[in-house]
Amino acid sequence: MTNLKSLLAVLCLCSAFGQTSWAFDVQAGSAFVKDMGTGTVLLNKNADVPLPPASMSKLMTLYVTFEAIREGRLTLDEELSVSEHAMSFGGSTMFLDTTDRVSVEDLLRGIIVLSGNDACVVLAEALSPDGTEAGFARFMTERARQMGMNNSVFLNSSGWPAPGHVMSMRDLAILAERLIVDFPEYYPMFAETEFAFDGRAPKNVRNRNPLLELGIGADGLKTGHTQEAGYGLVGSAVQGDRRVIFVVSGIDTVAQRARETEALVNWSFRQFTERKIAAAGDEVARAEVWMGSAATVGLTPAQDLVTMVPILSAGPLAAEIVYTGPIEAPIQAGQKIAEMVLSPEGMPEVRVPLLASEAVSAGGFGVRLKTVSGLLFKRLLQGAGEAS
């Protein structure tokens, strides 16, 4: 592995970091905060540890349901029956019973606003490959793997406590971003603060998300709580042209969850500013080439490289270009061959793929002969040095 410290990269990335630690003093056991526009991770605390997600895992049930609606396997106005299994759930419910037929749209709001365990099971049984909630959970786990959520295992559709039903905070953030990006037509449901289904549960009509009415831009997504998991929240907020996604878990009380997540949102927007590091196509370094028609190849980001940095500046941002080299020819233009690693003080490192800026063909006989001769000569010198 060759670590190439590019002088150009170090000079251009002159953002700002002194000895101050910029990490938010989060009290949650696990937390993850991401600036969605730039992809910058602002906070990572145990974000890859699989933990009981409680009702936050209902987001996966919602995602799979939205996919089914988009694909025409389900419609919003379709009415579904309620099984005895669905009716048997306690905790947060819509108070459904086996005499009901409930529209998919009401079930979606029953999950998003009321956190209905029974509503999750009704949708799960309707969409399950084998008609059971367990079968739906296995499908969710497989779908999660396809989405890059590698620390998630689902044993049910609602997050009801079950040994081995786990998600990581990073996986929940991936899921939140996919919901926002993939289903903008349904995402406004997550900002709804009240849903009085059929007048059945006057004490369970309010959305439990404590941030929705604070005027800080919060517009989703889902709270969670069990005795084992503590209090958690998958949230998102938008201010101006910036959106952040944040996930916390393992908080002791509902009041502490409200305080901590509000502070986390304010910190995310107030303490960071956007910084353009390099434009797409800019050559930030050159990498050595093995047996090629050229000795080096340019490295460039595939798109504008923009990151979030703390608002105060005090020194250069540590940056390295990392690749396994020399890189053997032929090399195609646009081929991923390296990474830029940014290491801002007090923040998780940022890794950005770098592409070959031009094609490099394999060298002809003369190039290969010269390369091999040089290698043999180098080994002879090394041997002579060791002998002496």
Catalytically annotated residues: 55, 58, 115
Both ends of the chain: CA-CA distance in Å?
Answer: 30
Cβ neighbour number for residue 298 with a 10 Å cutoff: 19
**Nearest C-alpha neighbor of 260 from the set 11, 18, 65, 25:** 25
Q: Using an 8 Å Cβ cutoff, are 163 and 60 in contact?
A: no
Which amino acid does the sequence have at 384? A
Tell me how far CA of residue 200 lies from CA of 82, 96, 190, 207, 362, in angstroms: 16, 9, 21, 16, 73
- Give the length of the chain: 388
Tell me if residue 152 falls in helix, strand or coil.
coil
> Could you write out the DSSP letters of every residue in 330-371?
PB-TT-EEEEEEEE-TTS--EEEEEEESS-BPBP-HHHHHHH
Give CA–CA dist 98/80, Å, rounded: 11
Please choose, from the candidates 4, 34, 62, 96, the residue with its C-alpha nearest in 3D space to the C-alpha of residue 348: 34
Helix (H, G, I), strand (E, B) or coil at 196: coil
**198 vs 101: CA distance, rounded Å:** 12
**Helix/strand/coil for 134:** helix
Helices (H), the chain: 7-12, 58-70, 84-87, 104-112, 117-127, 133-146, 169-182, 254-270, 365-387
Backbone angles phi, psi at 2, to 5 degrees: -100, 130
- Single-letter amino acid code for the residue at 110: G
Rounded to whole angstroms, how far apart are CA atoms 363 and 231? 61
